Amino acid sequence: MHILILGAAGMVGRKLLDRLVRDCRLGGETITRFTLHDVVAPEAPAGTGVPVSLSASDFSLPGEAERLVAARPDVIVHLAAIVSGEAEADFDKGYRINLDGTRRLFDAVRAIGDGYRPRLVFTSSIAVFGAPMPDAIGDEYLTAPLTSYGTQKAIGELLLSDYTRRGIFDGVGIRLPTICVRPGKPNKAASGFFSGIIREPLAGQEAILPVSDGVRHWHASPRAAIGFLLHAATIDGARLGDRRNLTMPGVAVTVAEQIEALRRVAGDAVAARIRHQPDPVIERIVAGWPRGFDPRRAIELGFTAEPDFETIIRAHIEDELGGRIAA
Amino acid sequence: MHILILGAAGMVGRKLLDRLVRDCRLGGETITRFTLHDVVAPEAPAGTGVPVSLSASDFSLPGEAERLVAARPDVIVHLAAIVSGEAEADFDKGYRINLDGTRRLFDAVRAIGDGYRPRLVFTSSIAVFGAPMPDAIGDEYLTAPLTSYGTQKAIGELLLSDYTRRGIFDGVGIRLPTICVRPGKPNKAASGFFSGIIREPLAGQEAILPVSDGVRHWHASPRAAIGFLLHAATIDGARLGDRRNLTMPGVAVTVAEQIEALRRVAGDAVAARIRHQPDPVIERIVAGWPRGFDPRRAIELGFTAEPDFETIIRAHIEDELGGRIAA
B69-87: pLDDT as tens digits: 999 999 999 999 998 889 9
Best mutation target among A103, A142, A297 (most B Cβ atoms within 10 Å) is A142
Q: How far is B151 from chain A (nearest CA, A)?
A: 6
Does B260 touch chain A if contact means CB atoms closer than 8 Å?
no
pLDDT at A285 over 90: no
CATH of domain A2-176+221-247: 3.40.50.720
B271 within 8 A of B259, measured Cβ to Cβ: yes
Do the Cβ atoms of B142 and A146 come within 8 Å? Answer: no
All residues of chain B having their beta carbon less than 8 Å from the beta carbon of residue A153 are none
Q: Alpha-carbon distance B312 to B306, whole Å? A: 6
pLDDT at A193 over 70: yes
Q: Is A149 a catalytic residue?
A: yes
Mean pLDDT for B246-266 is 98
Which of B142, B158, B166 is the closest to A141 by Cβ? B142
Mean pLDDT for B23-28 is 95
Q: Count A/B contacts: CB-CB distance under 8 Å.
A: 57
Mean pLDDT for B300-319 is 98
Mean pLDDT for B25-54 is 95
pLDDT at A109 over 90: yes
Touching B: A residues 189-248, CB under 8 Å: 242-243
All residues of chain B having their beta carbon less than 8 Å from the beta carbon of residue A162 are 145, 148, 151
Q: How far is B246 from chain A (nearest CA, A)?
A: 12
Per residue, what are the HEC states of chain B? CEEEEECCCCHHHHHHHHHHHHHCEECCEECCEEEEEECCCCCCCCCCCCCEEEEECCCCCCCHHHHHHCCCCCEEEECCCCCHHHHHHCHHHHHHHHHHHHHHHHHHHHHHCCCCCCEEEEEEEHHHCCCCCCCCECCCECCCCCCHHHHHHHHHHHHHHHHHHCCCCEEEEEEECEECCCCCCCCCCCCHHHHHHHHHHHCCCCEEECCCCCCEEEEECHHHHHHHHHHHHHCCHHHHCCCCEEECCCEEEEHHHHHHHHHHHHCHHHHCCEEECCCHHHHHHHHCCCCCECCHHHHHCCCCCCCCHHHHHHHHHHHHCCCCCCC
Does A84 touch chain B if contact means CB atoms closer than 8 Å?
no
Question: Complex ipTM, two decimals?
Answer: 0.95
* Percent of chain A residues topping a pLDDT of 70: 99
Amino acid letter, residue A163 = Y
Question: Which pLDDT band, with edges at 50, 70 and 90, does A287 fall under?
Answer: confident
Mean pLDDT for A234-242 is 97
What pLDDT, on a 0 to 100 scale, did the predictor assign at position B188? Answer: 67
| DSSP code for A71 | T
Handedness of CA B220, B105, B241, B152 (dihedral sign): positive
Best mutation target among A158, A159, A165, A166 (most B Cβ atoms within 10 Å) is A158
Do the Cβ atoms of B158 and A146 come within 8 Å? Answer: no
Does A91 touch chain B if contact means CB atoms closer than 8 Å?
yes
* Percent of chain B residues topping a pLDDT of 70: 99
Mean pLDDT for B200-225 is 97
Question: Which pLDDT band, with edges at 50, 70 and 90, does B191 fall under?
Answer: confident
Determine which helix (DSSP H) or strand (DSSP E) holds A78, and give its type and residue range.
strand A75-78
Q: How far is A148 from chain B (nearest CA, A)?
A: 6
Question: Which pLDDT band, with edges at 50, 70 and 90, does A269 fall under?
Answer: very high
Which of A91, A144, A166 is the closest to B243 by Cβ? A144
Does B141 touch chain A if contact means CB atoms closer than 8 Å?
yes
What pLDDT, on a 0 to 100 scale, did the predictor assign at position B120? Answer: 98
Among candidate residues B95, B116, B149, B163, the one labeled active-site is B149
Q: Which burial class, exposed, middle or buried, applies to B220 when counting CB atoms under 10 A from its CB (0-12, 13-18, 19+)?
A: buried
Best mutation target among B102, B104, B158 (most A Cβ atoms within 10 Å) is B158
Q: How far is B273 from chain A (nearest CA, A)?
A: 37
Does A151 touch chain B if contact means CB atoms closer than 8 Å?
yes
Residue B186's contacts (CB-CB under 8 Å, 6 or more residues apart) are B192, B195, B196
Torsion of CA B96, B102, B108, B109, to 10 degrees: 180
Which of B131, B146, B242 is the closest to A165 by Cβ? B146
Do the Cβ atoms of A158 and B151 come within 8 Å? Answer: yes
| DSSP code for A322 | T
Which of A91, A143, A145 is the closest to B142 by Cβ? A143
What pLDDT, on a 0 to 100 scale, did the predictor assign at position A188? Answer: 67
All residues of chain B having their beta carbon less than 8 Å from the beta carbon of residue A243 are 144
Among candidate residues A95, A141, A149, A163, the one labeled active-site is A149
pLDDT at A76 over 80: yes
Q: Alpha-carbon distance A110 to B91, whole Å? A: 11
